Amino acid sequence: MKQLTIDIGNTRSKWALFEGDQLVRCGYMDEGLPCEGVQNTMVCATGDADLHALGLDGANVQRLTSTTPLPIALDYATPDTLGPDRIAAACGAQKIGKEGCPKVIIDAGTCITIDYLDADGVYRGGAILPGIEMKFRALHTFTAKLPLLEKVDPCQPCVTGRSTYESMAAGVLTATRYEVEGFVRHYHRRDPATQVLLTGGDAERLLGEGLLQVDNLVVEPHLVMIGMNEIIKLKIEN
């Protein structure tokens, strides 16, 4: 049995094809979708994507929402406003994370989301903050002379920049590190066994630039897709 998961994000749309638990192929929507043999499709759309216009309105296509039956419980005051990518990532963390441990999920994309899943598999909420590129764009947009830094050379980030370029890089990259590590420290103080799962388009960038220094870290670029596959499997089993 084949399951197709589609993540329509703010920047680019991705897909992953599963057979049971195994991820067998992945790619981007603008490169085409695999259709042969797919029996169930789940779409995670952060915005108001028109699934009909995208050709994703078949009988076997399900859009992920907070009312979709899930392998985790949601304890969130406004579940109808909860991003489906955050839901899917939490389901993925529950699948691949260590059983019986709390989990912090960091999704480093256009925004950075930091979410908390307790040891009983209950999603308790989290935080949303600007991503790296959004911070660089804000510095350029809301000032008269600061340039737009679109690609910062991967290097060990400094704290004291000695040029405008270095100062902007230091501010954005070091601040991002301290933000994320501060949240993780908060949860580790509550329970040192808390596991940290990192995903998203900037995940490797954060690691490659030496920004994150946290314990109990698991990196999984397909965490959202894995979570959607778990939701599909729950539907099939029921």
Least confident of 3-12, 89-98, 210-219: 210-219
Cβ neighbours for 38, distance < 8 A, ≥ 6 positions apart? 2, 3, 4, 17, 60
Q: Provide the token pair at 103.
A: 């989990």
pTM of the complete model: 0.92
- Of the candidates 48, 50, 75, 85, the residue annotated as catalytic is 85
Tell me, what's the pLDDT at 204?
82
How would residue 210 be classed by pLDDT, with cut points 50, 70 and 90? low
31 — phi, psi (to 5°)?
-100, 0
127 — phi, psi (to 5°)?
-140, 150
Amino acid 95 reads K
End-to-end CA distance of the chain: 15
Amino acid 86 reads R
For residue 161, list its beta bridge partners.
Answer: none
Q: Which of 102, 107, 101, 69 is nearest to 86 (CA)?
A: 107
Rounded Cα distance between 231 and 89, Å, is 11
Least confident of 39-48, 62-71, 149-158, 224-233: 149-158
Tell me, what's the pLDDT at 139?
97
Q: Which of 222, 226, 201, 223 is nearest to 3 (CA)?
A: 226
Catalytic: 85?
yes
